């Protein structure tokens, strides 16, 4: 048999790209919103690609999903209601659903094709969407509009979006963060994917500056995610009253479920950033 | 003018590679030990490549060099004598030379061609080698043999080596770490480049297991280095008496020189690892 030599490449800039050997293309389609591809790669397992950008891979998805979900959920002493905007692959839902106190998880993914394709081709990641967990509800609406109907409702909101280009751009605006703030309960916390400090430091500064218009506590934290550009990804965090450095759910964490990346010990350390990133954060929040 | 479309690619595994657009190849040669190439890349500036592997780039070299040098040098209350094995590009020398108390820095690089090429083509990185700083001495000897002539001499030893294949392999042995231990003063500390936890967890476990044969304190710490495989690189640390979590040089740090990645605030946080890496470390040091 002749090797097909199928490779998927993602350009991080016009002058740098990363390539993965693909065993086979499992799915390729175009929804109302974007192109959707699923590749079976040799090294990273199955990979979800939207508009040509890697969203998640089986091999390292746990890092992203644990870190975007458990950091806010363990700062809060007992989160009961959560909203995820984006995140149609279901990985963030899966992690939040592990918290025993959680009573309601709404996944607001605008593109129902992403959910359908993930349920079919990425069962490891989307497992919670295929379960009969009645705490979980999936809605296919525009997150920017959807969140506006809530006030003082969610303990945790996670913005698990694509990059701030095209349809995803509105999820990085000051106005949107204001609606998120209002939809959160008094002790509510939000996190979002905040690009990477190597290629996108200016975008990251815009994110924290806009978050700080609304939230008294604004933080960044990082995690090593090999499938994303630079390999070291950032998350933004906004908190209304709870100091993010305090892991109020620490006892709950010790008694709860195993993790692979997140740990109680690392929690306060997460917010100690590389100096250039800390200075960029300080500069942006002082504006 | 037609674009040359020259790209340099590094394979992280046979099934994953990263590519950089190259403006021009500045140098290409073969020494007694290895092939040596210097490329002018569009995105990462000049890049040193040994035997086809990226050693350092102008754009992100500061992360690697600050982290391998300042972490041990600020754990020690006042390092005076340091040995660097490998590190022929001079970046680690440059960082150590910033410490005002340092009186002697020996760079033991087996391949004098690496030093010569770095001095000519990577002036930003090799600046300390081109200076007339009489604290710095460069020797071209086999580091494995060279270190054996010392006992109770160096406060800091940094093993800034290539990967544990070919000539570099011997710098990852238990026997070598024993010679390093002996060459260190009573409060001495060593660091080495320890690959990455995503692709090389087993190699990393071997490193910490072999370090722990000799050193009472053995730690790992990570930094985001986009030009290296996975983008999240690890360093090993062995300390004879000083607890690595304590930054004994903190006052010296505040008064000393600016850094871009390392900071006094991040120091203790550095040793809080991702859970799977912490578990791999615990398992290896318990052997």
pLDDT in tens, B121-166: 999 999 999 889 999 999 999 999 999 999 999 999 999 998 888 7
pLDDT score recorded for residue A194: 97
Residues A216 and A271 in one domain: yes
pLDDT of residue A115: 98
Q: Is residue A254 a part of any domain in this protein?
A: yes
Classify residue B185: in a domain, yes or no. yes
Q: What's the number of domains chain A is made of? A: 2
Mean pLDDT of B104-116: 98
CB atoms A275 and B260 under 8 Å: yes
Q: List Cβ neighbours of A46 (8 Å cut-off, separation of 6 or more).
A: A26, A38, A39, A40, A57, A58, A121, A122, A124
Owning domain of residue B190: 61-286
Question: Is there a single domain that holds both residue A134 and residue A263?
Answer: yes
Q: Give me the active site residues of A, please.
A: 160
Q: Is the pLDDT of residue B255 over 80?
A: no
Classify the phi-psi angles of A158: left when phi > 0, otherwise alpha if psi is within -120 to 50, otherwise beta.
beta
- Tell me how far apart the alpha carbons of residues B206 and B200 are, in angstroms, rounded to a whole number: 10
Co-location of A113 and A49 in the same domain? no
- pLDDT band, very low/low/confident/very high, at A65 (cuts 50, 70, 90): very high
Residues A26 and A109 in one domain: no
Contact A53, A36 (CB under 8 A): no
**Chain B residues touching residue A227 (CB < 8 angstroms):** none
Across the interface, do A15 and B42 touch by the CB < 8 Å criterion? yes
Question: Chain A: nearest CA to B149, how far in angstroms?
Answer: 38
Closest approach of B58 to chain A, Cα-based (Å)? 13
Residues A219 and A254 in one domain: yes
Same domain, B53 and B65: no
For residue A249, what pLDDT is reported? 73
In chain B, how many H helices and how many E strands? 9, 12
Q: Which phi and psi angles does B190 have, rounded to 5°?
A: -125, 150
Å from A139 to nearest chain B CA? Answer: 33
Stronger pLDDT, B12 or A162, i.e. the higher one = B12
Q: What pLDDT was estimated at residue B101?
A: 92
- Does A247 score more than 80 pLDDT? no
Q: Which residue out of A9, A12, A15 would a mutagenesis test of the B interface target, given it has the greatest number of B Cβ atoms within 10 Å?
A: A15
Confidence at B249, pLDDT banded by 50, 70, 90: confident
Q: From CA B119, how far away is CA B115, in angstroms rounded?
A: 6
CB distance A17–B18 less than 8 Å?
yes
- Per-residue pLDDT tens for A157-193? 999 998 888 778 999 999 999 999 999 999 999 999 9
Interface test with B, best of A42, A228, A274, A278 (most B CBs within 10 A): A274
Is A169 or B2 the better-scoring residue by pLDDT?
A: A169
Does B269 contact chain A (CB < 8 Å)? yes
Task: Say if A254 is an interface residue toward chain B (CB within 8 Å).
Answer: no
pLDDT value of position A228: 98
- Which chain A residues contact residue B253 at CB under 8 A? none
Q: How far is A231 from chain B (nearest CA, A)?
A: 4
Does a structural domain hold residue B174? yes
Q: Do A223 and B274 touch (CB under 8 A)?
A: yes
**Mutate which: A272, A280, A281, vs B, most B CBs within 10 A:** A272
Would you say residue A1 lies in a domain?
no
Given an 8 Å threshold on Cβ–Cβ distance, is B269 in contact with A268?
yes
Same domain? For A100 and A51 the reply is: no
Assess B201–A contact: CB distance below 8 Å, yes or no: no
Residues of chain A in contact with residue B60, where contact means CB-CB under 8 angstroms, are 198
Are residues B137 and B53 part of one domain?
A: no
Q: Indicate the average pLDDT of chain A.
A: 95
SS (H, E, C) A206-239: HHHHHHHHHCCEEEEEEEECCCCCCCEEEEEEEE
- Å from B200 to nearest chain A CA? 13
Distance CA A253, CA B181 (A): 39
Is residue A279 included in any domain, yes or no?
yes
User: pLDDT tens across B34-78, in order?
Assistant: 999 999 999 999 999 999 999 999 999 999 999 999 999 999 999
What pLDDT score does A265 carry? Answer: 86
B258 to chain A, minimum CA–CA distance in Å? 10
**Do A20 and A80 belong together in one domain?**
no
Q: Residue B279: which of A125, A266, A247 has the closest Cα?
A: A266
Single out the residue in B39, B57, B75 at which a domain terminates: B57
- The CATH number assigned to the domain holding A266 equals 3.40.50.150
Cβ pair A223, B276 in contact under 8 A: no
With CA atoms as reference, the chain A residue closest to B22 would be A15
Across the interface, do A16 and B21 touch by the CB < 8 Å criterion? yes
**Is residue A114, in this structure, part of any structural domain at all?**
yes
Q: Do B16 and A18 touch (CB under 8 A)?
A: yes
Rg (alpha carbons) of chain A, rounded to whole number: 18
Average pLDDT, chain B: 95
| A115 and A176, same domain (yes or no) | yes
Q: How far is B174 from chain A (nearest CA, A)?
A: 29
**Which chain B residue has its CA at the smallest distance from A198's CA?**
B226
More confident residue, A1 or A47: A47
Does pLDDT of B2 surpass 80?
no
A51 and A77 belong to one structural domain: no
Q: Looking at the complex, does the CB of residue B45 fall below 8 Å from at least one CB of chain A?
A: no
> What pLDDT, in 10s, does the model give residues A30-64?
999 999 999 999 999 999 999 999 999 999 999 99
Q: Is residue B1 part of a domain?
A: no
**A–B CB contacts, 8 A cutoff, strictly below:** 119
List the Cα angle B273/B276/B282 in 5-degree steps.
Answer: 75
CB contact under 8 A, B278 and A265: yes
In this complex, which of B42, B262, B274 lies closest to A224 when CB atoms are compared? B274
| Mean pLDDT across A73-81 | 95
Instruction: State the catalytic residue, choosing from B160, B200, B206, B282.
Output: B160
Which of A17, A229, A263 is closest, CB to CB, to B275?
A263
Does the pLDDT at position B248 exceed 90?
no
**Which of B9, B224, B275 is nearest residue A232 as measured by Cβ atoms?**
B224
- Choose the closest CB to A263 out of B9, B226, B278: B278
**Which residues does chain A have within 8 Å of residue B229's beta carbon, measured at their own beta carbons?**
226
Residues A65 and A53 in one domain: no
Q: Which residues of B touch A42 (CB under 8 A)?
A: 15
* From B18, B41, B263, residue closest to A18, measured CB to CB: B18
Q: A96 in a domain, yes or no?
A: yes
C-alpha span between B78 and A88 (Å, rounded):
53
């Amino acid at each position: 048999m002749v090797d097909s030599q199928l490779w998927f490449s993602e350009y991080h800039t016009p002058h740098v790209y990363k390539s993965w050997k693909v065993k086979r293309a499992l799915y390729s389609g175009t929804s109302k919103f974007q192109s959707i591809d699923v590749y079976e790669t040799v090294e990273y397992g199955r990979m979800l690609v939207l508009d040509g950008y890697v969203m998640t891979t089986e091999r390292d998805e746990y890092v992203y999903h644990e870190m975007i979900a458990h950091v806010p959920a363990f700062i809060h002493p007992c989160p009961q209601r959560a909203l995820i905007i984006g995140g149609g692959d279901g990985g963030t839902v899966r992690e939040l659903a592990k918290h025993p106190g959680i009573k309601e998880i709404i996944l607001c993914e605008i593109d129902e094709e992403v959910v359908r394709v993930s349920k079919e081709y990425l069962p490891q990641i989307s497992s919670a969407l295929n379960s009969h967990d009645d705490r979980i509800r999936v809605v296919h609406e525009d997150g920017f509009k959807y969140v506006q109907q809530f006030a003082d409702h969610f303990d945790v909101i996670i913005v698990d979006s694509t990059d701030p280009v095209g349809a995803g751009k509105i999820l990085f605006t000051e106005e949107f963060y204001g609606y998120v703030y209002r939809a959160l309960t008094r002790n509510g916390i939000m996190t979002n994917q905040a690009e990477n400090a190597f290629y996108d430091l200016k975008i990251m500064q815009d994110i924290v500056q806009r978050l700080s218009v609304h939230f008294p506590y604004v933080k960044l934290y990082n995690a090593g995610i090999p499938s994303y550009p630079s390999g070291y990804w950032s998350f933004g965090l906004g908190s209304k009253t709870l100091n993010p450095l305090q892991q109020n759910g620490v006892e709950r964490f010790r008694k709860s479920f195993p993790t692979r990346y997140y740990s109680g010990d690392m929690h306060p350390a997460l917010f100690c950033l590389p100096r250039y990133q800390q200075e960029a954060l300080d500069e942006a929040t002082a504006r």
